[in-house]
Chains A and B, each alone.
Chain A
Amino acid sequence: MITHVENPVVEVHDLTVSYHKKPVLWGVDFTLPQGALVGILGPNGAGKSTLIKTIMGLIPHSSGFSKLFGKELSEVRNRVSYVPQRESVDWDFPASAYDVVLMGRYGKLGLFNRPRKADKEMAMNCLEKVGMADFAHRQIAQLSGGQQQRVFLARALAQDADLYFMDEPFAGVDASTEAILMDILKSMVTRGKTVAVVHHDLQSVKEYFSWVLLLNMRLVASGKTEEVFQEELLQRTFGGKLTLLSKMSELVHKNEFPVRES
């Protein structure tokens, strides 16, 4: 149940990813249309973060490729934004919310350039958009989890990209904040941007997303929400691990076997 599209924004082709030679994603193959709000769903350890990180070039893949806007990642970095899981950074870092958001502009700055006035204004604007203007100069450790998540979203907004990958932006966020963040995402999509979000709450999927990826060690389905988000496919995604596939992963790991002969 994998729907492919013409002129995709994201094209992932036969992607296999391993940690320490142990495959955790097998042969993932999908395309995403422009302007979609994509929900990436799957149980814990399904490889959702891994998929995003691989597309963003954070981890190498064992086989296959991914293309963004029909090009290599390195050619279009300025058009892509990545929002890591909140737990992946140490919030004790001495920086204010504003400092973090300003980092979103670094990609467009040269190595030795300082942020210009326009960059600073942009950062402030983005903080405002997520409702954090009052906290701009607060140290990030002194923000609540939801506020930290908003800062991350503001940083992504500051990147002014065309394609966004967000790893669990709603984790630890209360209902009203989630609604605010969701409004922002929806308005981005209406402006023609593409947003892919790792999401855990199945209740809200139909309401939030126009496209859904179901993932569990392999891609179960990819397509329009109304086609893909259905009992049987969800059962296949969340109904336990694929024991055979995990066993095989173990064997590959134990033998230090290259997944592909070369």
Chain B
Amino acid sequence: METIVRFFSLQDPNVRYVVLGMLLLSVSTAVIGTFSLLRKKALAGDAVSHAVLPGVCLSFLISGQKEIWSLMAGAFVSGLLSLWCVQYISKHSKLKEDASIGIVLSVFFGLGVVLLTFIQHQGNASQSGLDAFLFGKAAVLMPSDVWVMSIVAVVMLFMVYAFYKEFTLFSFDPGFAQSIGLPVQRLEYILTALMVMSIVMGIQTVGVVLMSAMLITPAAIARFWTNQLFRMLILSVVFSMIASVAGAYISFLAPNMPTGPWIVVVLSGMALLSFLVAPQRGIVWKWWQARILKRKTAEENVLKAMYQLGEKENSFQETYTLEDIFSRRAYATVYTSRILQRLHHQGYVIWEQGEAQLTAEGIRKGSLITRRHRLWETYLTQVVNIAPDHVHDDAESMEHLITEELEKKLLEQLKDPSLDPHQSEIPPIN
């Protein structure tokens, strides 16, 4: 409890800088990550984050000191150069983009490692910690770092605000954007520069590999929840922020736990959770929908069976035992009596002492299902051209899916048919 208070009240200056820094980083990486995801350039970020190393080393070799601005400038330049190389290689050879990313990523990084070891072996006194640039040091963020981060975040948000319409169009359909006269090339430069900028800043905090996660994962989760760009931006920023604070908190509790990887693990956990529960696409959601549908299908089938029994006897007032119902449909006894109980509660059936009778509402529903079944059979034979002896199975499942709107259209197109392909009467709407 005490630790929670101590953490969230941000009394500890160290905590304050870490949390603030991570939040700022989340904003900029999540925003730019969303755009690069939509532009199918998610992995280009991976290339950039590996490719900054030679820039950092060269800038150190030239300036001879570990001054943050010059290192960042070096990183920025080699990051941009790497993206240009990726573009150039895939444009001017038969190599596809995945290969050119792989090439640029590994060769730049290899060059960086050579320079790094070269510097180390030269024994320059101030070199130590140069590779912190690569592996991140989230736990020891300085006020100056936080300043840099806020500047980057502000620039990022401002640019996105200023060019929101253009970026949106450009991300979804660059061809169209160009055709209506947007300066596509310039937008590309701006987005690229913003991406490299946020990566350069992020690497120092979370490290090379995990930087890719900060770019890709929040956007991918957000994409899972919404199709709309603005919501996607907001969501990815929120997810990213939550994960950042959680990561910082975990490494606050257990100081030997690295912040960056925990952020990523939390993010990945969120992704997993989304895959499970997100509406429409989540596994649990789908499972639940299937269950509801299955139940509905079973209920409707029983109503239909009773209705069709009534049709045969020309009276819907009869009572039926389970055996009667089974004569139309094979089900387990327990299962069917449970369904009848549910139908009883819903007011479609009176189910007492092993005998079931349709209510008025039940008759209406039974006729509705039967009508949809026969309509669909008619449609399949007349329009879809399927032989009458093949349509039953299909209609057996479609009758539960046909909506009122679709039913109306069917009636319209088939001109209110009275008989189905098997010469059974199609019950009229009443």
**A and B touching (Cβ–Cβ under 8 A):** yes
Which A residues have a C-beta under 8 Å from some C-beta of B?
1-2, 14, 16, 26-27, 29, 63, 92, 141, 217-221, 242-245, 247-248, 251-252, 255-261
Known A29-B390, A247-B406: A257·B401 in contact at CB below 8 Å: yes
Known A219-B385, A259-B394: A27·B410 in contact at CB below 8 Å: no
Residues of chain B within 8 A of A220, CB atoms compared: 385
Residues of chain A within 8 A of B63, CB atoms compared: none
Known A251-B401, A252-B401, A260-B397: A29·B406 in contact at CB below 8 Å: no
Cα-based distance from A92 to B383 in the complex (angstroms): 44
Known A242-B383, A251-B406, A255-B293: A27·B391 in contact at CB below 8 Å: yes
Chain B, residues 268-310, CB within 8 Å of chain A (1/0): the string is: 0000000000000000001001100100010000000000000
Main secondary structure of the interface of B (DSSP, over half): helix
Q: Confirm or deny: B386 has a beta carbon within 8 angstroms of a beta carbon on chain A.
A: yes
Chain B, residues 392-405, CB within 8 Å of chain A (1/0): the string is: 01101110111100
Cα-based distance from A260 to B397 in the complex (angstroms): 6
Cα-based distance from A9 to B337 in the complex (angstroms): 49
Shortest C-beta distance, A259 to chain B (Å), equals 6
Residues of chain A within 8 A of B410, CB atoms compared: 244
Nearest-neighbor residue (CB-CB) of A63 within chain B: B393
Q: Confirm or deny: B380 has a beta carbon within 8 angstroms of a beta carbon on chain A.
A: yes
Q: Which of B94, B290, B394, B402 contacts A256 (CB 8 A)?
A: B290
Known A244-B406, A244-B413: A27·B396 in contact at CB below 8 Å: no
Residues of chain A within 8 A of B403, CB atoms compared: 251
Cα-based distance from A73 to B415 in the complex (angstroms): 42
Residues of chain A within 8 A of B286, CB atoms compared: 256
* A27, B397: Cβ atoms closer than 8 Å: no
Q: Confirm or deny: B422 has a beta carbon within 8 angstroms of a beta carbon on chain A.
A: no
* B384, A29: Cβ atoms closer than 8 Å: no
Known A257-B293, A259-B397: A218·B409 in contact at CB below 8 Å: no
Cα-based distance from A229 to B237 in the complex (angstroms): 59
Residues of chain A within 8 A of B409, CB atoms compared: 243-244, 247
Nearest-neighbor residue (CB-CB) of A13 within chain B: B390
Tally of contacts, chain A with chain B, CB under 8 A: 73
* A27, B293: Cβ atoms closer than 8 Å: no
Cα-based distance from A220 to B384 in the complex (angstroms): 7
Known A27-B380, A27-B394, A261-B396: A2·B413 in contact at CB below 8 Å: no
Q: Confirm or deny: B142 has a beta carbon within 8 angstroms of a beta carbon on chain A.
A: no
Residues of chain A within 8 A of B394, CB atoms compared: 16, 26-27, 259-260
Shortest C-beta distance, A129 to chain B (Å), equals 29
Q: Confirm or deny: B387 has a beta carbon within 8 angstroms of a beta carbon on chain A.
A: yes
Beyond A26-B386, A252-B398, 6 additional contacts (C-beta under 8 Å) are A217-B384, A221-B385, A242-B383, A244-B379, A248-B398, A261-B397
* B385, A258: Cβ atoms closer than 8 Å: no
Residues of chain B within 8 A of A221, CB atoms compared: 385
Q: Which of A63, A217, A256 contacts B289 (CB 8 A)?
A: A256
Residues of chain A within 8 A of B297, CB atoms compared: 261
Shortest C-beta distance, A253 to chain B (Å), equals 10
Residues of chain B within 8 A of A251, CB atoms compared: 401-403, 406
* B390, A14: Cβ atoms closer than 8 Å: yes
Residues of chain B within 8 A of A2, CB atoms compared: 385, 387
Nearest-neighbor residue (CB-CB) of A251 within chain B: B401
Residues of chain B within 8 A of A248, CB atoms compared: 398, 401-402, 406
Residues of chain A within 8 A of B94, CB atoms compared: 92, 141
Cα-based distance from A218 to B379 in the complex (angstroms): 12
The 6 closest A-B CB pairs, nearest first, are A27-B386, A218-B384, A92-B94, A251-B401, A14-B390, A261-B397
Residues of chain A within 8 A of B290, CB atoms compared: 255-256
Cα-based distance from A218 to B380 in the complex (angstroms): 9
Residues of chain A within 8 A of B380, CB atoms compared: 26-27
Residues of chain B within 8 A of A141, CB atoms compared: 94
Residues of chain A within 8 A of B293, CB atoms compared: 255, 257
**Would you list 11 pairs from A and B whose C-beta atoms are within 8 A, ordered by A residue?**
A2-B385, A27-B391, A27-B394, A29-B390, A63-B393, A218-B386, A244-B383, A251-B403, A255-B293, A257-B400, A257-B401
Shortest C-beta distance, A54 to chain B (Å), equals 17
Known A63-B393, A244-B406, A261-B396: A255·B385 in contact at CB below 8 Å: no
Nearest-neighbor residue (CB-CB) of B401 within chain A: A251
Residues of chain A within 8 A of B384, CB atoms compared: 26-27, 217-218, 242, 245
Cα-based distance from A139 to B45 in the complex (angstroms): 34
Cα-based distance from A151 to B390 in the complex (angstroms): 41
Nearest-neighbor residue (CB-CB) of B409 within chain A: A244
Cα-based distance from A29 to B388 in the complex (angstroms): 12
Cα-based distance from A177 to B383 in the complex (angstroms): 38
Cα-based distance from A157 to B172 in the complex (angstroms): 44
